[in-house]
Amino acid sequence: MSLFGENLQYYRKRENMTQEQLAEQLEVSRQTISKWEAGSSYAEMEKLLQLCDLFSCDLDTLLRKEAGESELEDNLQHRRRMKEFRKWITCGVALLITAAASYEILAGLGQRNEAVRQTLFMVLAMAGILILVVQGLKDSDYRKKHPFIQDFYTQEEKEEFDSHFPARIAAGVGLILAGLLIGMNGESLPLPDDMNEEFYYGIFLVIVAAAVSILIYTGMHKQEYDVEAYNKENNLKNTEANGPVAVWCGCIMLLATILFLIAGLVFHLWEICWIVYPVGGLFCGMATLILNRKK
């Protein structure tokens, strides 16, 4: 049996197709399929391309590689990439919110040196923005190289994740509500003499960063299981949907940073302009859920 014949048989059995069913789809006889699999004859180019479309594989893999091993390698690579992508996107957004939190916490602890507070804010904010930009470019490059992947995920995996999904979303929303209680009552909470209520505003932002991280990470993890949407995006070259979470979260938090700097540097509203970050974080969380819902 030739490598092409072995791969054809592997793909056919993977799809639970009989030789008759495959022959019907390709508009050839069952004997032709049998000869291809036995290696006694080869398919013409038109039929090879049809097989690639049917089994979602490339021509090189169909003819020259061992399909089973190649598929396992692609499985592991895709899982690693998706895990890395959602981890760094979450980290980038969290850093942007933490940048504002550090500004408020330092002010609350009595640090009146504006240069120190602004420097720490800018370092964290720029780190977050750079992470989002780099990961967005990496994701775009990965999608170009892997425009189509198999649905490697088992039904058990998906059901296991779905069973925990509502609780994780509820945890993120609950954290935001808990943070709001602290932020809204900062003036009434006990403080040492050398501290002020801005400390609690900073704590509120830290909680928001944690909450938004949970929402984004969970939303992107759910998105990973929607292989059909991934393939549809790349095959249709839908630029609006390509890398949606990274693009939207990056734009939202970049806009929040611009508004923060304008309000602080131009209008000297440092004591209230931090609010753009929790608002931006909430929009990131909502964008993640909405984009996944559409798919």
Residue recorded with tokens 């992508």: 85
HSE toward the beta carbon, residue 107, CA cutoff 13 A? 21
Q: How many helices (H) and strands (E) does the chain have?
A: 12, 0
Express each pLDDT in 89-98 by its tens digit: 999 989 988 9
The pLDDT value recorded for residue 89 is 92
The pLDDT value recorded for residue 239 is 41
Average pLDDT over residues 107-112: 80
> In the numeric block, which tokens belong to residue 222?
């759910």
Per-residue DSSP letter, 266: I
Q: Bigger pLDDT: 125 or 248? A: 125
How far apart (Å, rounded) are the C-alpha atoms in residues 171 and 291? 20
Neighbours of 34 (CB within 10 A): 14
- Sequence-separated contacts (24+) of 41-46 with Cβ below 8 Å: 42/2, 42/4, 43/4
The pLDDT value recorded for residue 264 is 67
The pLDDT value recorded for residue 270 is 60
Express each pLDDT in 29-71 by its tens digit: 999 999 999 988 888 999 999 998 888 787 888 888 887 777 7
> In the numeric block, which tokens belong to residue 62?
């169909």
What residues contact residue 9 under an 8 Å CB cut-off, 6+ apart? 1, 37
Confidence category of residue 294, pLDDT binned at 50, 70, 90:
low
